[in-house]
Structure 1
Amino acid sequence: MTQPPGRPDPAGITTIGCVGIGTIGGGWAAYFLARGYDVRAWDPSPDAADRVARLIDAAWPALTELGLAEGASPGRISVYADLEEALDGVGFVQESAPEVLPMKQELLARIDAATAPETIIASSTSGYSMTEMAVAAARPERLVVGHPFNPPYLIPLVEVVGGERTAPEAVQWAADWYEHIGKSVITMDQEVPGFIANRLQEALWREALHMIENGEATVEQIDRSITDGPGLRWPVHGPMLTFHLAGGEGGMAHMLDHFGPSLKSPWTRLEAPELTSQLRDSVVAGCDSEAGSRSVADLVAERDSAIIAIRKAIEQLRQGRR
């Protein structure tokens, strides 16, 4: 790939800065380590180093099964109490601080001031636009959103988009970088509130809460309706191609012509329900019931094992088409 003047070649980057190493940031750190990079991390929590070490240890078996890069080691992470020290010499920065806008604005400005001008800085934000987050940065042209999905060490998708003051070449560089490290990248043409995948997830989430609140379905029924239903199709074909196939030989055109009128049926409740204490307790109780004796750690291990199996099966299908 041809790099714009001043930007580093993704293949030449050796050290990654991770700012914020909670669940998402720690997942990113584990992924970067598995790809053979050194990670310099910063987090204000006094127990950050111990917490991220536990997260990496838990993720490493799954990453090992998927395949480690040469030189990959969970020991190649350093956690610092000083942000500027942590970012010294890094070739790329992944910010994963909590979703608090003033915090993001201030932190991105500090990262911008502490790193070389050619270094791209990406935010893991799941809801804010880069336009609103970059207001305090001196060099907003190199700030992008690199929105991952939990857990970042297993789910390949990253949505990349810049803000109003982000340079287009910075967006392209970030997309190239994520692809270089093995991610599946959607490069968005414009900022969209909630990005793409979150918008689709949230629509499903709102409908699920309404059905629980109205006593129309239980937590377990809702989960099974996806895991044993459309969820089995989605790893291979997304919702659009799934409906394309629903039209038979006529494809999407037949599906829309035949089923299109039903889209106006009053099924949906797109407005979010009021999260009352009763609804909150019902959802929590339903999740506890569905989890049964499985702890959170058990569920994480179960999820990771299933994702690995699904990813391997899909890769075999794709290789068979080549």
Structure 2
Amino acid sequence: MSYSNETDTELESTDQRTMNYGKEKVAVYRTYANPLEGVRTIPESSFDGRDNILFGLEVRVQFEGEEFLPSFSEADNSKVVATDSMKNFVLHQAGEYEGATAEGFLHFVGTEFLKTYPHVEAVKMSAKEYPFDQRMVPGDDGFEPSDLVFRVSDDESAFGEVFLERKEDDSRIKEQTSGITGIELVKVKGNSFTGYVQDEYTTLPEREDRALYISLDIFWTYSDPEDALGEEPQRYVPAEQVRDIAQVVFHEVDSNSIQDLIYQIGLRVLERYSQLESVSFEANNRTWIEVREDLEGDAKVLREPPRPTGYQQFSMDRSDLEE
């Protein structure tokens, strides 16, 4: 009996062990990938697809499996796939992928990893998309987007993550997350911050109308993770449309806090996409500080806020719509 208890304890400890390794910051670029076509349009966005003439990702690979324990505990690398090989594998598969989305590519590469290395129990693939802008060049009817020249953009980046685990002779999606990061928006009026706790530590004055500068990351999950792959474009949620929802709601809503603003954005996202299970946020408050109050009308002179800055994290699901 004593031996059995020790074994149970050992197994429980092993189940809770963190053990993985992989490669990150793998930059991969593909020209003339398949275009994303047939997505459903929404009132808040003009986005209806992308050409994918230039498709770039920064990829992270994570391998998991009990077979890797000897590499940590005994310096036995007989089951270790070199991370340099992982990089080369990702680069090669970029030429094999026939889909049109970041999530689809991650799923494709993760599935191929599990097929190729049977001792790997699970693989987590994540990536941020490199944004590129087509440059405007003279055409027959004025200026038009070039199909050859692109600008490396500092704009928002789409994000995807797919966690695949081995299931008998196949694999299944255990977890999935899509997102868009690095949204930065400024609204010059129509924002307030009032009614908060006032005590001996309060120095911030209430503001009935303020210029609001926020940075925002938005993430979402699907009820059916397969919808994230883009194989049925009508079920796919493009990051560009979620970005556009955020800026439209920011324009429309007179918010009394950033918390209120992101809640309204979340409601709109869940209303537009019935296939989504949840939406979550990380927001950062960079509200500029007014330095003059003697200007007429809505004119203001503003400066950057000092550090530290505030942040908000929040998640929602379909139950919020019912409420």
Indicate the structure (1 or 2) with the bigger Cα radius of gyration.
2
**More strand per residue: 1 or 2?**
2
TM over 0.5: no
Calculate the TM-score normalised by the size of structure 1: 0.24
**More helix per residue: 1 or 2?**
1
